[in-house]
Chains A and B, each alone.
Chain A
Amino acid sequence: MTDVREALFIARTTDGRTVRRPLSPHLQVYKPQMTMALSIMHRITGVALAVGALILVSWLVAAASSDRAFDTVSMLLHTWIGKLALLGWTASLWFHFSTGIRHLFWDVGHGFEMPQVHASARFVLVATAVLTLATWFVGLMAL
């Protein structure tokens, strides 16, 4: 035995064989739902934002270093890969921002009824699209 928890994973099937219990949440028996898609997307965008934070760090460090370093970072961000990364970063940001606020409402006990959960999920998707488009629209106007 490697771990005391192993002892608690033991279960018996109806024919009496001992088996190792599967770990929840048993994704293999679930019908795909919008709620689970948003849940895992909250995580994925969170991890993506952590990677995207490197853009912010390099921008700040370059601004504090030299004109040459700053121009290099600016140039990289103006390539199509840079723009695509920034588009992904803004979309991830607004999605995580919206689902994060949805989580805060749940944390204080609001919005747990299924119709409300589905309404807030749709709201999050619309808010992400609107905020992302608005950010790029205003950004491109300001350029």
Chain B
Amino acid sequence: MSKSPTQTIMRSGLSRARGLGSAQTGATHWFAERVTGMALVPLTLWFIYSIFSLLGAPRAAVAAWAGHTVNATLLLALVLIMFKHMAMGLQVVMEDYIHSEKLRLVSVLAMKAVVGLFGIAAILAIIKLALAA
């Protein structure tokens, strides 16, 4: 059995309830998750379709493919939106399961740093391929 909690706070019920109110940013996050998810539907189909012609191909063929402006544009869109969607999704998972406030804050910030750095690496690679062609 969990130990009986004691209530030693001096604040009124109204004051406590106000402190628990919405942060006013949840709907934006929720909506952005859906919008990025919707954008990823056609981008994913395009990417999987493109990959078929690149299976087993040498680097030169991949570089030539990524060098096309249309491919580079869609590839950049895919990576940008995918990493945004990923960061938002992982943040929600962390916020749901990490109960310690300090650990939660540190985890979310660390995750965003890692996702951000990998995203930048991918974007840089696409730009290099696009400009090299």
Binding site for B on A (CB under 8 A): 1, 3-10, 17-20, 43, 46-47, 49-50, 53-54, 56-57, 60-67, 70-71, 74, 93, 97, 100-101, 103-104, 107, 135, 138-139, 142-143
Contact = CB atoms under 8 A, between A and B. Distances in A.
Contacts of B20: 4-5, 8
B125 A64 contact: yes
A70 B66 CA distance: 14
Chain B residues touching A, range: 35 or more
Interface string B1-40: 1111111110100001001100000000000001001101
* Chain B interface SS verdict (over half): helix
8 contacts: A56-B122, A60-B125, A63-B66, A64-B128, A70-B62, A101-B41, A103-B37, A139-B51
B125 A70 contact: no
Contacts of A54: 118
Contacts of B4: 17-20
A93 to B, nearest CB: 7
B118 A20 contact: no
Contacts of B48: 93, 135
A53 B16 contact: no
**Interface class of chain A by DSSP:** helix
A61 B125 contact: yes
Contact of A46 (B16, B93, B118): B93
B55 A49 contact: no
A7 B6 CA distance: 8
Contacts of B53: 142
B7 A43 contact: no
Contacts of A5: 20
Contact of B55 (A6, A20, A46, A143): A143
Contacts of B59: 62-63, 66-67, 70-71
B129 interface: yes
A138 B124 CA distance: 30
A17 B1 CA distance: 11
